[in-house]
Structure 1
Amino acid sequence: MFENLNERLERSFKILKGEGKITEINVAETLKDVRRALLDADVNYKVAKTFTDTVKQKALGMNVLTAIKPGELMVKVVHDELAALMGGKATEMKLESTPGHPAVILMAGLNGAGKTTMSGKLALMLKSKQHRKPLLAACDTFRPAAMEQLRVLAEQVAVPCYIEEGATNPVAVAKAAINHARLNGNDIVIIDTAGRQSIDEELMVQIRDIKDAVNPDETLLVIDAMIGQEAVTTAKTFNDRLEIDGVILTKLDGDTRGGAALSVRAVVDKPIKFIGTGEKMEAFDVFHPERMADRILGMGDVVSLVERAQQQFDEEEAKRLEKKIRKNKFDFNDFLSQIQQVKKMGNVKDLAAMIPGVGKAIKDVEIPDDPFKNIEAIIGSMTPKERENPDIINQSRRQRIAKGSGTDIQEVNRLIKQFDQTRKMMKMVTGMGPGKMMAMANAMKNLRR
């Protein structure tokens, strides 16, 4: 995410390295390179020019900070302006529902942007994080496959889906879905609408008719971040006709340029509310401009990493695990459970990039999509007794496990060694007294700052 832009900005800041102070000449030279980096990242030209003009004005007005190196000062100014450019802070949805009157979210966008998938991901987020009771409504009567796709996604996230087979009037379907929600206790209705390969009058009229009929609380436009400047044009056209409330950017995990994320807010004056960051249904996040600015500048994103970990945290499971660790009973079943929790947090390389400094270090390192595949295969080839009693796994058992998992004996030996080290480390941590644990907690808080 934003790899190319990050590299270009780093090179730009090096112009100021070794300079004694901020001057109009060295700032102009640096920002000329910054502007080129933004344009190469597919940022709108006017947005890039206004951005660098603002940074120049603020940087030159801060020469009094003599204790700060010019390069560090420029990074600070650019960071703050990047966050401001993307909206400054996260924008919440305004969803007011009362018994019998569900809130309504209208999803709009072109075909291929990921609108139907984002509808499912949004439903999962509202259900799991906000404890709401969403209903998905299939109102794309233009493309029958969209109804089936939404049905499958609804089953994956365990959310009800309203479908009228053979329906041709999306307005009638939307109204019926809202009535269905009223009768069945759903407090949010997410309406998935039709898209087209490109913007046309029929599409805009249809979505406008649905909006006028249901008066949604939120109208969200789904945009593919990988189409660059075209994303901004699409957002502007939809906003002119629909008056959208916010944007969902998809495929941000595959966009190394990032121009759409930096331009949409400035051009359309509507907030980016959510981003899609991967293929899994859980790969859907609230958009935090300041955290995104951190990531663009290679500073990591520890806060988001901690939040993802907390989402997978089960207090009762943690207490059970602590008891087992204290008694030195931590086994391969527990080890496998921990791996599965990490996998739910998202792509491993993406998670590692959230740790300051790590993203740059692993930039050229090939990390497979499922780095735990062999580990899971090895544990899966163990007998229940071996999983519960790792100490009984002798050489002959290791050979059998290697053969059964399709791996070699070296991989099995390596995993068992790593498991033993993990078990010792976890026992040592749980054996810490309250004072040491408090010191560790304070250290983590300071790291997050």
Structure 2
Amino acid sequence: MEQLEIGIVGAGLGGLAAAVSCALAGHTVTVFEAARELAEVGAGLQITPNASRLLRQWGLKDAIQPLVAEPTLLAVHRYADGKILAEERDFDKNIRHKYDAPFIDMHRVDLQRVLAERALSLGVTLQLDSRVSSIQATTLGPVILLKSGREVRCDLVVGADGLWSKCRESMLQKSDEPLPTGDLAYRIVLEVDKINDPELRSWVESPQCHFWIGPYSHAVGYSVRAGTMYNLVLLCPDDLPNGLSRTAGSVSEMRALFAGWDPILTRFLEQVDQVDKWKLMHRAEVESWTNPQKNFVLIGDSCHPMLPYLAQGANSSIEDGGVLGRLLSHVKTKHQLPWAIELYESLRKSRSEKIVRETFHQRDAFHMPDGPEQQERDRLFASQLGAPVSQKFPSRWTCPEVQPWLYGYDAYLEADKAVKLNPYKSEDRL
């Protein structure tokens, strides 16, 4: 086997997932990260079976088990009174039974650390304080240009540098800033030891996932770190000025926005002493995620950033890394690289863009203002309450049409099927 020299730009979840997967495929991997250290940045995230399956395949089950909370219930509440509109009990058992992989909630920092440690154990080189300015095409292969002036030639460059991607700009050969969605997020993490309210402590220590949906806004809360922390995300209309993507928020302003909502939620908000506001951004679909030479490819938020309404931003980025590495495990010579990258794009682009569109539909379903459309939505919720959901459903988290194709996706299986259906032929060589 001819090892590829793979350069990955960005040590976020997508970049580290790709590093692990590509290293397991037998290739030499270097990750370039602008930050000086992998610091504790971020909040909770929900890892659905389409990604938790990969974590298990990468040998991370034991490492993440003490760090996760697995919700036993998923419930959707009406904002004003907390009335249950939809719920699925034994959610953890049902998900494992249907998809042979768990739905788990984690702190982003914990997952990043576990992936980084796994990558390093596989021989991946992680270069911190290495800010990339651009990717340059040469006849000998792509070159990563660093701000320091250093140049690194690779057989394959993977752009995993997130929403404000320099790799995307290099791919498109133009400046391409993200677009506002009209929404922002307040992100909150509470430690159970600092919560004095016994009922709220019980919510944290007994992992469940709760949504509160209301006019133009919704909230979601779930436990992380084995029920010792509670993650709350409040999603509401964006009032941040153009050019400001994140700032410290006003706790009193946040509470005022959700005044009159379910008392359980507002009591949680009374525990908050500081909060950040994040502008939610997206990007238009691009024609291709790869360059013509098929030796430079985008993954994750650099090519398909997602609103958080289905919690698929991290999951789909991990899928990207899984599919890419698995396809590269079938690459035995450098001549086969363009074939593998074409397969990668054919597998990932349509699925990821479909998920992006589905997140906007979920926002519409959860953010309905009070009125006839909302009442009809709630009637549909009520018709399915207490029984397995049997039709297309406003909550895609339990919808029998959306959930299976979202959670049932097996990245390695899809990659292997694609290779079998589209084997490399010598005439494929560019």
Shorter-normalised TM range: under 0.3
Q: Normalising by structure 1, what TM-score?
A: 0.23
Q: Normalising by structure 2, what TM-score?
A: 0.24
Higher helix share: 1
